[in-house]
A and B are shown apart, each in its own frame.
Chain A
Amino acid sequence: MTKTLDHLSRLENQSIFIIREAYSQFRNIAMLWSIGKDSTTLMWLVRKAFFGKVPFAVLHIDTGYKFKEIYDFRDTYAQQWGINLMVVKNDEAIAQGVCPKTGKFECCNQLKTEALKQTMDKYKFKALYLGIRRDEHGIRAKERVFSTRDEDFEWDYKNQSPELWDQYKTKATHEEHIRVHPLLGWTELDIWQYILRENIPIVSLYFAKQGRRYRSIGCETCCSPVASQADTVEKIVEELQTSTISERSGRAQDKESAYIMQKLRSLGYM
Chain B
Amino acid sequence: MSCMGRTVFIGLDGVPHGLLKRLADDGTMPHCRRLFEIGNLHCIASTIPDISSVAWSSIITGKNPAEHGIFGFVDIPINTYRISFPNYLSLKSKPFWEKSEGRSVILNVPSTFPVREMNGVHISGFVSLDLERSVYPPGLLSQVKALDYKVDVDAEKAHVSMDMFLSDLDKTLTARGKVCDHLWQHEKWDTFMIVFTGTDRLMHFLWDAYEDEEHWYYKAFRGHFSKVDAIVGSIIDRLNDNDILVMCSDHGMEHLDKNVYVNAILKEHGFLHYDPALKGGFANIDGRTKAFSLDPARIYLNKRGKFPRGCVAPNDEEKIIEDICELFQRYAVGGKAVCKAIYRKKEIFHGPFIDLAPDIVLIGNEGINLHSGLTAENTSEETIFSGKHTQHDAFLYVRGRDKCPSVKEGFNVSNIIGYIDSLKAERWR
The answer to whether A138 touches B129 (Cβ under 8 A) is no
A269 at the interface (CB under 8 A from B): yes
Contact between A244 and B74 (Cβ–Cβ < 8 Å)? no
Known: A103-B130, A134-B79, A269-B73. A260 touches B114 (CB 8 A): no
Partner-contacting stretch, out of B82-90, B181-189, B395-403, B409-417:
B82-90
Question: Using a CB-CB cutoff of 8 Å, which residues 379-395 of chain B contact chain A?
Answer: 383, 385
Q: Per-residue 0/1 for B275-311: is the Cβ within 8 Å of any A Cβ (1 yes, 0 no)? A: 0001110011000000000011000000000000000
**Chain B hits for A260, CB < 8 A:** 73, 85, 127, 129
Q: What separation, in Å, do the CA atoms of A198 and B385 have in the docked complex?
A: 57
* Chain A neighbourhood of B77, CB < 8 A: 138-139, 141
B85: A residues at CB distance < 8 A: 257, 260-261
Q: A256 interface residue, CB < 8 Å from B?
A: yes
Minimum CB distance partner of B116 in chain A? A154
Residue of A nearest to B154 (CB): A266
> Is the beta-carbon distance between B132 and A103 smaller than 8 angstroms?
yes
Q: Which of B130, B132, B155 contacts A267 (CB 8 A)?
A: B155
* Option from B80, B114, B158, B280 in Cβ contact (under 8 Å) with A105: B114
Which residues of A have CB within 8 Å of B156? 262, 266
A158 touches B283 (CB 8 A): no
By a CB distance below 8 angstroms, the chain A residues around B89 are 139
A230 to B112, CA, bound (A): 41
- For residue A158, give the distance in angstroms from its CB to the closest CB of chain B: 7
Contacting residues, chain A, for B369 (C-beta < 8 A)? 268
* Interface of B, helix, strand, loop or mixed by DSSP: loop
A233-270: CB near B (< 8 Å → 1, else 0) gives 00000000000111000000000110111111011111
For residue B102, CB closer than 8 A to chain A, the reply is no
Whether the Cβ atoms of B278 and A244 lie closer than 8 Å is yes
State whether the Cβ of A135 lies closer than 8 Å to any Cβ in chain B.
Answer: yes
B373 touches A (CB below 8 Å): yes
Q: Provide the residues of chain B in CB contact with A141, threshold 8 Å.
A: 77-80
Cβ of A150 under 8 Å from chain B: no
CB of A249, distance to nearest CB on chain B (Å): 9
Q: Is B280 a contact of A244 with CB atoms below 8 Å? A: yes
Docked complex Cα distance between A169 and B120 (Å):
37
Q: Are B84 and A138 in contact (CB under 8 A)?
A: yes
A138 and B80 contacting across the interface, CB-CB below 8 Å? yes
Q: Which residue of A lies closest to B158 (CB)?
A: A266
Partner of A138, one of B75, B114, B126, B159: B75
Contact present for A269 and B79 (CB under 8 Å): no
Is B352 located at the chain interface by the 8 A CB criterion? yes
Check: A65 CB closer than 8 A to any chain B CB. Answer: no
A267 to chain B, nearest CB (A): 5
Classify chain B's interface size. Answer: 35 or more
A153 within 8 A of B: no
Contact A245 B283 (CB under 8 A): yes
Report yes or no: A269 in contact with B295, Cβ–Cβ below 8 A. yes
Question: B82 and A246: CB pair below 8 A?
Answer: yes
- The distance in angstroms between the C-alpha atoms of A261 and B156, with both chains bound, is 12
Residue of A nearest to B129 (CB): A256
Q: How far is the CB of A220 from chain B (nearest CB, A)?
A: 22
Q: Distance (Å) between the CB of B391 and the closest chain A CB?
A: 16
Shortest B276–chain A CB gap in Å is 13
Q: How near does chain A come to B341, taking the closest CB pair, in angstroms?
A: 20
> Shortest Cβ distance from A202 into chain B, in angstroms?
24
- Tell me whether A259 and B129 are in contact in the complex, defined as CB-CB below 8 angstroms, given that A141-B78, A267-B155, A269-B295 are known contacts: yes
Indicate if A106 sits at the interface (CB-CB under 8 A).
yes
Q: A157 an interface residue at 8 Å Cβ cutoff?
A: yes
| Residues of A contacting B73 in the complex (Cβ-Cβ under 8 angstroms) | 260, 264, 269-270
Produce 1/0 per residue, B352-376, CB < 8 A to A.
1000000000000000010101000
Inter-chain CA distance A158–B92, complex, in Å, is 8
A264 with B127: CB separation less than 8 A: yes
Which residues of chain B from 45 to 82 have any CB-CB distance to chain A below 8 Å in the complex? 51, 73-75, 77-80, 82
Q: Are B383 and A246 in contact (CB under 8 A)?
A: no
Question: Chain A residues near B155 (CB, 8 Å)?
Answer: 263, 266-267
Residues from chain A with Cβ under 8 Å of B79 in the complex: 134-135, 141
By a CB distance below 8 angstroms, the chain B residues around A138 are 75, 77, 80, 82, 84
Q: Which residues of A contact B90 (CB under 8 A)?
A: 139
Greatest chain A CB density within 10 A among B82, B85, B204 is at: B82
Expressed in whole angstroms, the Cα–Cα distance for A129 and B280 within the complex equals 33
Chain A residues near B126: list those with CB within 8 A: 263
Q: Are A266 and B159 in contact (CB under 8 A)?
A: yes
Cα–Cα distance between A257 and B77 once the two chains are bound (Å): 14
Decide: A245 near B385, CB < 8 A? Known: A257-B83, A269-B73, A269-B295.
no
B50 to chain A, nearest CB (A): 12
Smallest beta-carbon distance A260→chain B, Å: 5
B403 to A: closest C-beta gap in Å: 38
B159–A157 contact, CB under 8 A? no
Residues from chain A with Cβ under 8 Å of B78 in the complex: 141
The smallest beta-carbon distance between B229 and chain A, in angstroms, is 23
Contacts A105-B133, A134-B79; is A268 near B127 (CB within 8 Å)?
Answer: no
**Least distance between A162 CB and chain B CB atoms (Å):** 12
In the assembled complex, B201 has its CB within 8 A of some CB on chain A: yes
Distance of A189 Cα from B158 Cα, bound (Å): 44
Given contacts A138-B84, A267-B155, contact A246 B74 (CB under 8 A): no
Nearest CB of B to A219, in Å: 18
CA distance A260 to B78 in the complex (A): 21
Are the C-beta atoms of B132 and A246 separated by less than 8 Å? no
Residue of A whose beta carbon sits closest to that of B383? A268
Using CB atoms, name the residue of chain B closest to A270. Answer: B373
- For the complex formed, measure the closest distance between the CB of A152 and the CB atoms of chain B, giving whole angstroms: 10
A-B contact pairs, 22 of them (CB 8 A): A103-B130, A105-B132, A134-B79, A138-B80, A139-B84, A141-B80, A157-B92, A244-B278, A244-B284, A245-B283, A256-B129, A260-B85, A260-B127, A260-B129, A262-B156, A263-B127, A263-B155, A264-B73, A264-B295, A269-B51, A269-B295, A270-B295
Closest CB pairs A-B (n = 4): A138-B77, A138-B84, A244-B280, A244-B283
Which residues does A use to contact B, with CB under 8 Å? 103, 105-106, 134-135, 138-139, 141, 157-158, 244-246, 256-257, 259-264, 266-270
